[in-house]
Amino acid sequence: MIYHQPFSYKNLSLWLLLFCCGLITAYVIFIALISIWVGLVHSHQVGFLIPILAGVISIMTISMLFLSILKFLLNQMKEKDIIDL
């Protein structure tokens, strides 16, 4: 008899959560890149560094947050459930 592993809803939900976090991260990075671009286009104005600085800080912050969430979720996927159904 061939034994098949039961379908894991935990892993499916964690992959879905990871996918949603990736989409949110991509959106924030896109907005930050637009902010940097606006700062570079208006370099002749006073205060053009503010959108550039805000964009760079946003990219660094969201990247660090996404990497920590990624590490946590991948560790959760490796753990086995206590109860086997």
pLDDT tens-digit map of 34-74:
999 999 999 999 999 999 999 999 999 999 999 999 999 88
Question: Does 53 fall in a domain?
Answer: yes
Q: Cβ distance 18 to 73 under 8 Å?
A: yes
pLDDT at residue number 71: 93
Q: How many domains does the chain have?
A: 1
pLDDT exceeds 70 at position 6: no
Give dist(CA 49, CA 32) in Å, integer. 13
What is the pTM for the complete model shown?
A: 0.79
User: What is the domain range of residue 52?
Assistant: 19-77
pLDDT value, residue 82 = 57
Residue 81 in this model has a pLDDT that exceeds 70: no
More confident residue, 7 or 65: 65
Task: Go through 49-58 and write b for each residue having 16 or more CB atoms within 10 A of its CB, e for each that does not.
Answer: eebbeebeeb
Domain assignment present for residue 10? The answer is no
